[in-house]
Amino acid sequence: MGIISFLGFTLLVGVISYIATLKTDENTSDGYFLGGRSLTAGVIAASLLLTNLSTEQIVGLNGSSYIDGLVVMAWETLAALAMVITAVFLLPRYLKGGLTTIPQFLSKRFDKSTKTLTSALFLTGYVVVLLPIILYTGSTAVSGMFNIPELLGVSDVQALWICVWFIGVIGSIYAVFGGLKAVAVSDTVNAIGLLIGGLFIPVFGLMAIGDGSMMDGLDILITENPEKFNSIGSSTSEVPFTTIFTGMMLVQLFYWGTNQQIIQRALAAKNLKEGQKGLLLGSFIKILGPIIVVLPGIIAYHMFEGNLDNSVDAYPMLVREVLPPSLLGFFAAVLFGAILSSFNSVLNSSVTLFGIDIYKEHINKTADERTVVKYGKLFGIILAIASMFLAPLLANTESIFNYLQQVNGIYSIPILTIIVVGYLTKYVPAIAAKIGLISGSVLYCISEFIVRPHLTNSALEKAADNGIVDVAELALVKANAYPHFLHVMAILFLFNVLIMLFIGKIKPRETPYVQEYTKEVDIKPWKYVNIVGILICIIVIGVYIYFS
């Protein structure tokens, strides 16, 4: 029954997506990459949320809350603030310039080589980090819920490979051959299922703890695990509270405001008003995100008494433990849709970046739009295959979500730096942007992959020599050995901003940069954008005060 409902819902999404794209011209850049610039607020909000809310989020973040509790909700709640800033400040500028990709702005503001360098950084991060992580966490979830090793009579490793390629192939079909509109429509259908199915897990989990009563279960969970419901956390938490005021906000601004994978949905808005409403609707729903991506991890900690060998297994095991068999197939289909959403969204963005910013710009400058789309699709297929080979290699990573955010810093903060400086200044030259990109990436790599391991290992060795063996004390030693990677991001952000401003002072552009209005879409703002934005900010602050 579970397999039948899984296949039925998955097929339904595919049919709806196919029908919805029949009238879209997929042979033009706007048609394929931006869905014909026709997306409305509801579709934008749903697509944004489901693109974000995939298994690297659901499985990874619940795995983090299994260890650290409510403090990791910062990844969700601060996202709402970043979406507000994007709606008010960034999106009006993006749509005014008629952008298809974020690097296109950098070409106009700085020069073509800056755009190419940024696109290359995006693509490197996607293929080496993001796509493999989506496939790995998705495969872990599917394999865990359906118990694939036992079902197929294979080892855990073989089951992982099977699921990775199954998900990868289907996701590639959506993204490479359907374009953005197919992705966005499938997102919308799956978003409804995911919100319903995602709520099933904490509800049934709390009922299991409370002998049929959800409220009794919540009371028991909070009473017996009070340390898990502290929004402040401790200095050894995966996300120390102080990082909220430094690198955490920068990461959120990059992700929701400049990351091609995400912002492409808003770029496809039929006008600024719909784009702003979509972002703000998404940000409001995002505040409720911890119910789906944090609470189940705490429930799993209580139910399994903190005895799981790998925190990544917390969510799949909880699903199999509490969800009635009759609903397992539906939920697996919904989660499968979320997996596909993130995978095909990143892949579609990669195809867009390659086709518009690299192929058309450097490989075949005379190519017509049909040719650009054709070679973009070919690149997408190669990218998908590469990510399918890389995904199983992540099996031994401890905290998959933390790893994702840490490695993303290689390209996220440098790109955010040059975009912010690009919009807020008029005379900073192209050479400053290139130096900012390169120095940001290189310095971050040196900090996180050379200096941090060296200082951490030295501190742990010294602790061992002093007879410290307690796990909690060793965690504190490790945390204090070197600044948290989010603090490092903030320091490097400020450093690179100062470098760019200094270069702009001593070697400014000959003429000031002035953004032109391309009239691709109407850029009249939504009249309630500021009021709703302020309300969302107040709600986020209230959540932290309540759980502090």
Q: Are 59 and 137 in contact (CB under 8 A)?
A: yes
**Residue 170 to residue 164: CA distance in whole angstroms:** 10
User: What total number of domains does the chain contain?
Assistant: 1
Segments forming the whole domain that contains residue 105: 2-408+527-547
Amino acid identity at 436: G
Helix (H, G, I), strand (E, B) or coil at 306: coil
In a domain, 509, yes or no: no
* Helix orientation angle between 247-257 and 485-506, rounded to the nearest 10 degrees: 70
Separation of first and last alpha carbons in the chain: 44
Query: Does residue 181 have a pLDDT over 60?
Result: no
In a domain, 110, yes or no: yes
Burial class (CB within 10 angstroms; exposed 0-12, middle 13-18, buried 19+) of 234: middle
pLDDT attached to residue 428: 95
CATH assignment at residue 81: 1.20.1730.10
Q: Are 259 and 118 in contact (CB under 8 A)?
A: no
Query: Does residue 26 have a pLDDT over 70?
Result: no
Query: Does residue 433 have a pLDDT over 90?
Result: yes
Task: Work out the pLDDT band at 437, boundaries 50, 70, 90.
Answer: very high
Q: To the nearest whole number, what is the mean pLDDT of the chain?
A: 82
Task: Work out the pLDDT band at 317, boundaries 50, 70, 90.
Answer: confident
The token duo for 81 is 């603030």
pLDDT attached to residue 177: 55
- CB contact burial 476-492 (16+ within 10 A = b; e otherwise): bbbbebbbbbbbbbbbb
In a domain, 470, yes or no: no
pLDDT attached to residue 252: 92
DSSP 35-77: TTT-B-HHHHHHHHHHHHSSHHHHHHHHHHHHHHGGGGGHHHH
Q: Are 38 and 31 in contact (CB under 8 A)?
A: no
Task: Work out the pLDDT band at 241, boundaries 50, 70, 90.
Answer: confident
Query: Does residue 248 have a pLDDT over 70?
Result: yes
**Quick one: average pLDDT of 203-218?**
92
pLDDT attached to residue 488: 92
Burial class (CB within 10 angstroms; exposed 0-12, middle 13-18, buried 19+) of 340: buried
For the ranges 4-8, 10-14, 37-41, 67-71, the one whose mean pLDDT is highest: 67-71
Helix (H, G, I), strand (E, B) or coil at 238: coil
Task: Work out the pLDDT band at 209, boundaries 50, 70, 90.
Answer: very high
CB contact set of 186 (below 8 Å; sequence gap of 6+): 13, 14, 16, 17, 174, 337, 340, 341, 344
Query: Does residue 15 have a pLDDT over 80?
Result: no
In a domain, 521, yes or no: no
Query: Does residue 29 have a pLDDT over 60?
Result: no
pLDDT attached to residue 373: 73
**Quick one: average pLDDT of 174-200?**
65
The pLDDT tens digits of the residues spanning 61-81 come to 888 899 888 888 988 889 999
Query: Does residue 405 have a pLDDT over 80?
Result: no
In a domain, 500, yes or no: no
- CB contact burial 121-149 (16+ within 10 A = b; e otherwise): bbbebbbbbbbbbbbbbbbbbbbbbbebb
Q: Label residue 211 left, alpha or beta by phi (over 0 means left) and psi (-120 to 50 means alpha).
A: left
The token duo for 387 is 């990510």
The pLDDT tens digits of the residues spanning 43-59 come to 888 778 776 776 677 88
pLDDT attached to residue 180: 47
Helix (H, G, I), strand (E, B) or coil at 200: helix
pLDDT attached to residue 539: 94
Q: What are phi and psi of 57, to 5 degrees?
A: -90, -55
**Residue 8 to residue 3: CA distance in whole angstroms:** 8
**Quick one: average pLDDT of 250-278?**
87
CB contact set of 45 (below 8 Å; sequence gap of 6+): 277, 278, 279, 281, 282, 285
Task: Work out the pLDDT band at 118, boundaries 50, 70, 90.
Answer: confident
Query: Does residue 392 have a pLDDT over 50?
Result: yes
Task: Work out the pLDDT band at 174, boundaries 50, 70, 90.
Answer: low
In a domain, 415, yes or no: no
Q: Are 493 and 250 in contact (CB under 8 A)?
A: yes
Q: Is the pLDDT higher at 531 or at 480? A: 531
Amino acid identity at 66: Y
**Residue 148 to residue 133: CA distance in whole angstroms:** 19
- For residue 361, the 8-state DSSP code is I
pLDDT attached to residue 377: 77
**Residue 209 to residue 465: CA distance in whole angstroms:** 44
pLDDT attached to residue 298: 94
In a domain, 414, yes or no: no
Q: Are 87 and 253 in contact (CB under 8 A)?
A: no
Q: Is the pLDDT higher at 351 or at 301? A: 301
Query: Does residue 403 have a pLDDT over 60?
Result: yes
Task: Work out the pLDDT band at 31, boundaries 50, 70, 90.
Answer: very low
Q: Are 15 and 337 in contact (CB under 8 A)?
A: no
Q: Are 492 and 413 in contact (CB under 8 A)?
A: yes
Residue with tokens 């009794």: 216
Task: Work out the pLDDT band at 92, boundaries 50, 70, 90.
Answer: very high
Amino acid identity at 434: K
Burial class (CB within 10 angstroms; exposed 0-12, middle 13-18, buried 19+) of 366: exposed
Task: Work out the pLDDT band at 9, boundaries 50, 70, 90.
Answer: low
**Quick one: average pLDDT of 353-378?**
79
DSSP 477-500: HHHHSS--HHHHHHHHHHHHHHHH
Longest dimension (CA), the chain: 72
In a domain, 541, yes or no: yes
pLDDT attached to residue 158: 87
**Range of weakest confidence among 270-274, 312-316, 333-337:** 333-337
**Residue 504 to residue 268: CA distance in whole angstroms:** 33
Query: Does residue 12 have a pLDDT over 70?
Result: no
DSSP 184-197: HHHHHHHHHHHHHH
Q: What are phi and psi of 23, to 5 degrees?
A: -95, 0
pLDDT attached to residue 22: 52
**Residue 327 to residue 332: CA distance in whole angstroms:** 9
Query: Does residue 135 have a pLDDT over 60?
Result: yes
The pLDDT tens digits of the residues spanning 438-479 come to 999 999 999 988 998 889 888 888 887 777 767 667 777 777
Q: What are phi and psi of 124, to 5 degrees?
A: -60, -45
